[in-house]
Structure 1
Amino acid sequence: MATKPIALPNVGEMLNAHLTAQNVPKAALCRNMDRHPKYLQADVKKTSLKTELLWHYSLALGHNFFADLAAQLPDYFTTNVPDPTLPFKQRIDQLEEEVKLLNVKVEILEGVLK
């Protein structure tokens, strides 16, 4: 369905970039995850990681790597994630209806005053 090829994200680079940008001590992360540092070294060199492992890195670092991956997909892709703006859209619709009603009332009052 995609019209042009979409580049496969490099998850290891994403992880390493986050660790560098946030100045995360790798030894502390490994202790927190009860993981040997050699595995972290290997993970940042991989282009992909198992979902379970990426989940654990997300939890340990308090960072949503899945959202980072999702942001790289085209906007027209579907998702099961609820739209967080839906309540605002519904409220906007209600207010627009109220504005229409008030405009009609204003027109009526202007007609009465003439």
Structure 2
Amino acid sequence: MEDNTPLGSELVPDIGAFIARYFKEKRTYKSALARKLKVRPQTVLGYRQKKSMQTQTIWTLSLELKHNFMKDLADQLPKEFSTFSPKDTTLQDRIAALETENELLKAQLAVLKEVMGK
């Protein structure tokens, strides 16, 4: 018997769970959010039970709530998966700058010890 289940479909994260968690932790007023989104309050309440959701809806919720639900979903994927976003090199740049500064300070300390020793 052939298995027609899409690869990894059993591992799909539940977007409704992310939204429900956000609503609970941030004590979100669903009626106010519904007015901002121009939808019925029942629609906003229904977001908590949805297993999947259109990208536009997730995007709009993220903008209105100032919370990156897309990143929450992306963090569920393995780290080795490729993306189109540029690599964040700020830490490596900061480390390189600090190492350069450290070498300079070591040289200055050596000169100061030499001058003080005389």
TM-score normalised per structure 1: 0.72
Distance 1:17 1:99 in 2: 44
Q: CA RMSD in A?
A: 2.8
Distance 1:91 1:23 in 2: 37
Instruction: Please report how far the alpha carbon of residue 95 of structure 1 lies from its aligned counterpart in structure 2 after TM superposition.
Output: 6.2
Aligned match for 1:65, one of 65, 69, 89: 69
- Residues 37 and 93 of structure 1: CA distance in aligned 2, closer, same or farther (over 3 Å): same
Distance 1:41 1:35 in 2: 11
TM-score normalised per structure 2: 0.70
What stretches of structure 1 move > 3 A for 4+ residues in a row? 90-100
2:113 is aligned to: none
1:76 is aligned to: 80
Distance 2:34 2:48 in 1: 13
1:1-114 superposed matches below 5 A: 5=8, 7-84=11-88, 86-90=89-93, 92-93=95-96
Deviations, residues 88-112 of structure 1 (Å, cap 9, x unaligned): 4245446657878xx9xx9xxxxxx
Which range moved further: 74-83 or 46-55? 74-83
- Percent of counterpart pairs with the same letter? 32
Structure 2: gaps spanning 5 or more residues: 1-6, 111-118
Deviations, residues 11-33 of structure 1 (Å, cap 9, x unaligned): 01111110111001111111111
- Residues 98 and 17 of structure 1: CA distance in aligned 2, closer, same or farther (over 3 Å): closer
Query: Relative contact order (alpha carbons < 8 A, sep ≥ 6): 1 or 2 greater?
Result: 1
Equivalent pairs, count = 104
Instruction: Please report how far the alpha carbon of residue 83 of structure 1 lies from its aligned counterpart in structure 2 after TM superposition.
Output: 2.1
